[in-house]
Amino acid sequence: MTRQLPPLALTMGEPAGVGGELTLKAYAARETRDLPPFLVIDDPRRLEDLARGLGIDVAVRAVDDAAEARGVFERELPILDIGLTGSYEPGKPAPTSAKAVLGSIDRAVKLALQGAVSGIVTNPIQKSSLYESGFRFQGHTDYLTHLCPGTPLPVMMLASDSLRVVPVTQHIPLAGVSGALSPKLIEQTAQVTAAALKTDFGVARPRLVLAGLNPHAGESGKIGSEEQTVIIPAIEALRAKGLEVSGPHPADSLFHEAARAKYDAALCMYHDQALIPIKTLAFESAVNVTLGLPFVRTSPDHGTALDIAGKGTASPEGLIAATKMAGAIAVRRAAP
């Protein structure tokens, strides 16, 4: 008999954005989309008012703990009250919401570390308003790592049915990428990625490809030297450790259908090199997965969409995909 896992936890996200709407729509589609049970760490009154205002037929229910959520989920959306209320105007984020936004994440991480939830799905946050309140992290990934002392290098993967990509450097200026890259960083990123492909995605023998940094992968040093001095040494070290790695490949020929069939994940040297192809192939269904944390964490690969917040037009596909993927990874991790 399969062991019944605890529910997932969905965080509040930016209350002035579309997170609440997406959560309600995802719950409304729970049966037709075969979603695993989840609870939401939020303000029950906020979501109840939002459902009523948008005409989304969802009943909400405040619960006292995560264990109660599974029994409630079939009939009502279980909400673990963060104990913080406020006035949230759609499309207009404010620093005053930071306490609630971060409180939701903090509570989710605590529950995940305790094993009370089987994973976390984070709704998008508005970093600009958090910065105004004193937030000093690049984003979710850095903050989650801060909450888990001793965590090795966290790795951001963007995953869909057609492509998995990992940006070795993330939210830094393009001018700083070359200086930030090192053989050690590439090796660590590849090792975390390979391990996660085995445990979280069921890939027995992960195949990794590395993109070059420069056009044409540097053309043997004629268009930049980073391939020779940084990327190739990392590849050689990874192969010596038994990993199946190829590259560096020209990025402009790495993402067509025939090329994608030859690898399980592509490591890219900078943010847009990874995100442009996956957002082109899977704009609504790509999922942000944080590898290397002691718990499952996914997120839809889009922002707070302030321009359409409160209008009822936001698509829940990204959140649905993130929730399904978190549930699938949790099941794999729990397998004997």
CA 73 to chain CA centroid, Å, is: 23
For residue range 150-204, what is the model confidence (pLDDT) as tens digits? Answer: 888 889 999 999 999 999 998 899 999 999 999 999 999 999 999 999 999 999 9
Cβ proximity of 218 and 228 under 8 Å: yes
The CATH number that domain 1-151+293-336 falls under is 3.40.718.10
Pairwise CA distance, residues 206 & 196, whole Å: 9
Pairwise CA distance, residues 303 & 31, whole Å: 26
Distances in Å between the alpha carbon of 150 and those of 51, 122, 145, 295? 40, 22, 8, 13
Q: What is the pLDDT of residue 176?
A: 96
Q: What is the pLDDT of residue 157?
A: 97
Q: What is the pLDDT of residue 3?
A: 61
Confidence bin at 59 (pLDDT 50/70/90): very high
The alpha helices in 95-205, defined as continuous H runs, are: 98-114, 127-132, 140-146, 177-180, 183-201
pLDDT(85) > 90: no
For residue range 259-273, what is the model confidence (pLDDT) as tens digits? Answer: 999 999 999 999 999
Confidence bin at 19 (pLDDT 50/70/90): very high
pLDDT(83) > 90: no
Domain(s) labelled CATH 3.40.718.10 in the chain stretch across 1-151+293-336, 154-289
Q: What is the pLDDT of residue 231?
A: 97
Kindly tell me the sign of the dihedral angle through the C-alpha atoms of 29, 328, 118, 312: negative
For residue range 199-249, what is the model confidence (pLDDT) as tens digits? Answer: 999 999 999 999 999 999 888 888 999 999 999 999 999 999 999 999 999
Buried b (16+ CB within 10 A) or exposed e, 60-97: bbbbeebebbbebbeeebbbbbbeeeeebebeebbeeb
Kindly tell me the sign of the dihedral angle through the C-alpha atoms of 32, 37, 43, 45: positive
pLDDT(2) > 50: no
Cβ proximity of 314 and 21 under 8 Å: yes
pLDDT(86) > 70: no
Structure tokens at 96: 């005053």
Q: What is the pLDDT of residue 1?
A: 33
Average pLDDT on 126-130 reads 88
Structure tokens at 101: 């936004």
pTM: 0.92
Pairwise CA distance, residues 300 & 319, whole Å: 5
Burial label for 101, CB within 10 Å (0-12, 13-18, 19+), is buried
Domain 154-289 CATH superfamily: Isopropylmalate Dehydrogenase (3.40.718.10)
Pairwise CA distance, residues 332 & 42, whole Å: 28
pLDDT(82) > 90: no
Average pLDDT, whole number, for the chain? 93
Average pLDDT on 23-45 reads 95
Question: What amino acid is encoded at 256 in this protein?
Answer: H
Q: What is the pLDDT of residue 133?
A: 86
Higher pLDDT: 59 or 301? It is 59
Structure tokens at 333: 């991790």
Proportion of the chain above pLDDT 90, given as a percent: 77
Higher pLDDT: 300 or 95? It is 300
Residues in the chain: 336
Kindly tell me the sign of the dihedral angle through the C-alpha atoms of 254, 258, 260, 263: negative
Distances in Å between the alpha carbon of 218 and those of 18, 75, 224, 238, 254? 42, 58, 5, 21, 15
For residue range 306-334, what is the model confidence (pLDDT) as tens digits? Answer: 899 989 999 999 999 999 999 999 999 99
Q: Which residues contact 257 (CB under 8 A, 6 or more apart)?
A: none
Average pLDDT on 28-41 reads 94
pLDDT(87) > 80: no
